[in-house]
Chains A and B, each alone.
Chain A
Amino acid sequence: MGLNSLLGIGSSALGSSQTAINVTGNNIANANTIGYSRQSARFQEVRNPEFTAGQLGQGVKISEVYRNFNRYIEDSYLERSSTYNRWEEQQSILQSVQSIFNESNTSGVSYALGEFFRGWQDLSLRPEDVSTREALLSNAETLANLIRNAKQGLDRVQGEMDMYINQSVGEINGLLGSIQKLNLEIGARDIPGISNANALKDQRDQEIRRLAELIDITVEDNGGSDFTIRTKSGHPLMEGTNIYSLQTSVPRTENDLRPASKYDGTVVIDGQDSHEYHFEVVHPPRAASTNPPVDAANGQMRVSLDGGKTFLRNDDGSEMLVDIPTDADHRIKVKDLYVSFNADPTKMVAGDKFSVVPKSGLYWVSPTRPPLNVTPQTLASGEDNPGRITGGKLAAYYNVRDQNVGRYMDKLDALSNTLIWEVNRIHSQGGGIKSSGHVMGSYSAANTSLPLADSATGITYGNRLTQGNFSLQIYDANGKPVEGLPRAIDFDPTTDGTQNFDPEKHSMEDVANAINRTYPNHVNANIVDGRLQITATNSGETFVAHNDSSGVLAALGINTFFQGDSAASIGINETIRQNVSLISAGKVNDDGTVAAGDNFIAKGMCDLASRSVKISTTWESVDMTLGAYYGTTVGVVGSETKSAMVNADYNGTLADDLDERCSAVSGVNLDEEMTNLIKFQHSYTAAAKLITTADQMIQTLLGLKQ
């Protein structure tokens, strides 16, 4: 053991202290670098080669520079961060959505609805007054405008969500790409315990944090590049150096057939909707056969909005069954969505399932199998479907688009649809203070020869029709009722007596023909552009259609107040807008006149304000007044916003706490670094002293000779 070894020890201490000071310096420099993990130098004693007594050490060395990082806390943080980011994003979007419904300090749809009915009340006080009629018209316009605006506002939010979704999916795929690159580099450079790729790992964790903000993930770190990222639902996004991707897709359908099924077509959709539909065949359709003799039978299927977990029910609690369309011309209509089958449905067997995603969905793409639907979905119980994406901003965008805004739109549509029908139904019973010689129906049919109850006619209110009849009162050029004309319309000349309208039998063409047959010398009914048009044939003559027990006038838009059938299309009937005298305030009397002071119809409208009516969306059906329905809709918007806020708050606190625990491990404390700096500086000074001491000892040794 020589003096040189003392010099060696001194020099190793000098070098190690210097490295430690460098590490401390790097920590101080990166005190505010986001994602930086505090690094420490690991000092290790240089061992003695074991030929001296006492196994005295040979100095010190820096075995590695490692980062202070706790994978367990980081994973907990990632999970919480996904949830937090979802709710935070959801609450901030819903805050702006609820402003569409906010009437706390301004007036909105609810106020306009009140004013609309107030307009009818005023008209009931002064039925003959044109200015009161104008005021009613402008109240109704305001209501229609506000409803349309609300709908446009919601449309805009949905549009923004689609944009954000595409951006986020792009960002996710981009992040996966850059994580893959980092992973490759870590694999090449990282030698655990000797040369740690600290900066690369910090970068990778930082990218993963960004990924977790967008989508819920779990991470599995087996060291080096053996690193796996999965969605929480279990779909791998990255395995080592292989990456998968997510993609958005246009509306799609999928078959899930029983092995015995021979059905060889697909389900065809037209239109969009914010729900996913699952159809399951309960009774397969049957073709007619002569041997053994059986009649053809319509098939039936049940419908689920949550992927087959629960099925829609009728008002009486029984399972709702819809008829299976027999061919491509017969389509099921669900709101604005048409569903049909493009092959022979008699080949289906019970249990065949068809899923329809009539909106742009999110799919997980792997090279070996068809894209898998991972679009966030809410089950009937209100829980998120765990097999889909449930966290991160992406889930927020989908949830807002489909679950929140989609449902608000459905509710707004249901409200408008019912409002239009109920108002028109009452309106078409009476007459205005003037009548007109030409009326154009406001609803058009795609097919004018099918019975009106058939959804393929495209007449929105066809399913609300009942058997019944109506009257046409004709007035001469002086406005006096023409006497001696039939009071009811005969819908079937081949059967004796006056036959009623039957929605299952009579088409729009039949209605036109029946009118022409019943009043041959006074009016001419024909169909223009799928709409029913009635024109008085004698000059100066006018007419009013009224006293309708079937609803056919309201369904075709004759003598109606509103036109349209949804929140987007609600408007005032053109005929009425051009001539307010045509607004029905009174009934048509027995002698055919409408008295100037009669307020019978106006009173019926006022009554509608406080009458419970049936308002239905695809997933619920309630009996409520129109005002109360809108009120509860606002309540729902408020409570969903509030619940998002509470969730964001709660998860935010937890995420902050976890982040704090991460930074407790990985963060830099300047006081600590200052202390370390002093500590290592002292070590350095002492090591230098060791060398001078060795030098003096050598000098002493060399001085012995003199």
Chain B
Amino acid sequence: MRVTQRSMYNSMLGDMQSTLSAYMESVTQGSSQKRLNRPSDDPAGAARVLSYRGSLTQTNQHVTNAGTANGWLGTADSTLLSAQNLLAQIRVKAQEGATDTYDADQRMAMAKEVRELMGALMNLANNKHEDKYIFSGENTKTAPYQEGLTTTVHKGTSTGEPMQVTGSLSRTAMVRFAGDGQVPSQVPPSPPAPPGTPAPDMDYSWSEDGGKTWKQGTIPGGQNYFDVGSARVTVPAGSSLDVKQGYNAGTVPLNPMELDTGSTIDVRPTMIYQGSDNNAVPTVTPYGPIDFPAGTKFNATGKFANDTLVRFDADASQVAAGGTAKDVPYSYSIDGGATWITGNKATLQPGSSGTRLVLPGGFVDVNLAPGASISKDTQLSVKPQRTNLEFEILENQYISVNNIGKDIFGGLFTPKGSNNLQAATGKENGNNMFETVGKLVAALENNDRTAVGKCFDEIQESEKNVLYHTADIGGKMNRISTTLDVLEDHKIDQRTRLSAIEDIDFTELMTNLSQQQTAYQTVLKSSSMIMQLNLMKFM
């Protein structure tokens, strides 16, 4: 091939350019310590790097989340341990108070101590983590407990809603009545009184010093409340309190047990829960004409984890008895209608007005009003009350970090749909710690040895309940610590993969660098040698 000046110089320049650019590329890799410096270096790798970096960010976030969850749970754990200690002290007091060896004054002293311990328990229940109450459900800005008063009825019947007490008392009060009767008082049905007869007044006495001294009071006929010192006891509307005569009219009961068939009402301390809870039944709101004509009922049952939407996919009307059962196809969505899970089916049986829709976490019973039918595209919005504060600690794995105080410590609370306080768990149930301790205070202050003995048993139940919740929290903390191990493994794994894609192999780079250097030197050397040569030199 003919070699010309132009081709010779062009090819020398080209060689220099290409060796130098390969050399510079290696230098860039050396300075960034990365093999992948722009997407075109390894397009598939670039996409994978972004994906691994995304997972790494997520893993780090999960570590943060798990750490925060650990903080919440650790605070709860140590709080409950302290609560167990306090409860043990209270149990010892109850045990002492139940023996015959102590008199009223000594029991009074014990009562003072138990009141202090009860206050200390309230402080524990009002404990905060990061300035947020941890036993208040999701109402983390509201203190879960405040002091309050409630009643214990001995030998009497309270029907309907429990009595509500407002005001304050420094010591448990005892209330006795001068005759059989009812609050609010009623005209006795027999013998029949003439119409317009006013309801009778009722006399009562109360003592704020364990029955040593008594004060008198009268409940006017029909009035649903009575005052005890600076406290007022109200019988909620629609409810009533039946009492038996506790002392003879006109006398003052010097001995609380004057008529031992008589009713006594203790007005005693308790704690009132202000936080949120998980107890309420989910509400179902129809979106669309299914509630027409009015009277159609929806009942959701179960533990729904999410707000759930149900959609009817076809029209369906009630079938008269003897007809053929009708399918009610429906879909549901747990993300506010963005995606629907279709292909579910309920059935309207002949002669029945109701059907059951099975959903994740529970079911909704639809009971159609006479004449009402299901129209296609009608929706039901099921809103459960959930108060768990959940943190994601692994992808799609959540841990609940807050607690509902009333389930651990008890006390009184206002259930959804009511304005009246009631005991957090069954009234006679020892699980309700604050109610039990309140009753113990009342029993000690009233020098009621038998009641103290009963409280001793209940306190042991309360201790078991607190222990159960401590174990639950401990279990969660264990789960977090294993999760943290898993996350650490994930992190190492993701880093290794990331590094395999984007980091340089140092040995390889150094080898390449020295090869490229040699190549460049060779090109320079040979070019300069050729350039020195031409025919003129030899003429």
Interface residues of A (CB under 8 A from B): 31-32, 38, 94-95, 98-99, 101-105, 110-111, 113-115, 117-118, 121-122, 124-126, 128, 422, 425-426, 428-429, 466-469, 471, 487-488, 495-500, 502, 547-551, 586-587, 589-591, 595-600, 603-604, 606-607, 609-610, 627-628, 630-632, 634-639, 641-642, 645, 656, 659-661, 663-671, 674-675
Query: Which A residues are in CB contact (< 8 Å) with B44?
Result: 635, 639
Counting CB contacts under 8 A, is B496 at the interface? Answer: no
Which one, A31, A101, A599, A661, contacts B390 given CB within 8 A? Answer: A599
A-B contact pairs, 8 of them (CB 8 A): A118-B57, A124-B65, A488-B381, A498-B286, A589-B385, A606-B392, A656-B10, A663-B4
- Having A469-B379, A502-B377, one finds 10 other A-B pairs with CB under 8 Å, namely A105-B37, A429-B336, A488-B288, A589-B383, A595-B140, A597-B389, A599-B390, A661-B1, A668-B5, A669-B3
Bound together, the chains give a CA A634 to CA B502 distance in angstroms of 15
Q: Are B65 and A125 in contact (CB under 8 A)?
A: yes
Measured as residues with beta carbon below 8 angstroms from the partner, the interface class of chain B is 35 or more
Contact A627 B10 (CB under 8 A): no
The docked-state distance in angstroms from the alpha carbon of A466 to that of B287 is: 13
Q: Which residue of A is nearest B14, CB measured?
A: A656
- Interface with A: B237-245, B446-454, B481-489, B531-539, which one? B531-539
Asked whether, in the complex, the Cβ of A496 is within 8 Å of the Cβ of B289, the reply is yes
The answer, yes or no, to whether B49 is at the interface (CB within 8 Å) is: yes
Contact of B4 with A604 in the complex, beta carbons under 8 Å = no
* Nearest B residue to A636, CB-CB: B43
Q: Quick check: B4 and A669 within 8 Å, CB to CB?
A: yes
Chain B's closest residue to A428 (CB) is B336
Bound complex: CA A298 to CA B124 (Å):
72
Q: Does B141 contact A (CB under 8 A)?
A: yes
Contact of A497 among B36, B51, B292, B386 (CB under 8 A): B292
Whether B64 sits at the interface, judged by CB under 8 Å, is yes
Distance between B323 CB and nearest chain A CB, rounded to angstroms: 24
Contact B58 A114 (CB under 8 A): yes
In the complex, the answer to whether B389 meets A104 with C-beta atoms within 8 Å is no
Q: What chain A residues lie within 8 Å of B113 (beta carbons)?
A: none
Which B residues touch A665, using CB under 8 A?
2
* Minimum distance in angstroms from A562 CB to a CB of chain B: 15
Q: Which residues of B contact A (CB under 8 A)?
A: 1-7, 10-11, 14, 32, 34, 36-44, 46-51, 53-54, 57-58, 61, 64-65, 68, 130, 132, 136-142, 276, 280, 282-283, 285-293, 307, 309, 311, 333, 335-338, 377-379, 381, 383, 385-387, 389-392, 395-396, 398, 402, 416, 502, 534-536, 539
Task: Find chain A residues with CB under 8 A from B54 CB.
Answer: 110, 113-114, 609, 627, 631
Cβ B381 vs Cβ A549 within 8 A: yes
Q: Measured between C-beta atoms, what is the minimum distance from A31 to chain B in Å?
A: 5
Contact B7 A595 (CB under 8 A): no
Residues of A within 8 A of B1 (CB): 661, 664
List the A side residues contacting B336 at CB < 8 Å: 425-426, 428-429, 547-549
Is A104 a contact partner of B37 (Cβ separation < 8 A)? yes
Please measure, in the bound complex, the distance between the C-alpha atom of A664 and the C-alpha atom of B11, giving whole angstroms: 12
Instruction: Name the distance in Å between A328's Cβ and chain B's nearest Cβ.
Output: 33
Kindly state the separation between the CA atoms of A599 and B388 in the bound complex, as whole angstroms: 9
Known: A667-B7, A669-B3. A634 touches B50 (CB 8 A): yes
Q: Given known contacts A659-B10, A669-B3, is B288 in contact with A551 (CB within 8 Å)?
A: no
Evaluate contact between B38 and A102: CB separation under 8 angstroms. Answer: yes
Tell me the smallest distance from the CB of B361 to a CB of chain A, in Å.
15
User: Bound state CA distance, A122 and B60, in angstroms?
Assistant: 12
**B53: shortest Cβ distance to chain A, in Å?**
7
Q: How far is the CB of A592 from chain B (nearest CB, A)?
A: 11
Pick from A429, A469, A603, A675: contact of B307, CB under 8 Å: A429
Chain A residues positioned under 8 Å from B389 (CB to CB): 597-599
Given A497-B290, A641-B39, is A551 in contact with B338 using a C-beta cutoff of 8 Å?
yes
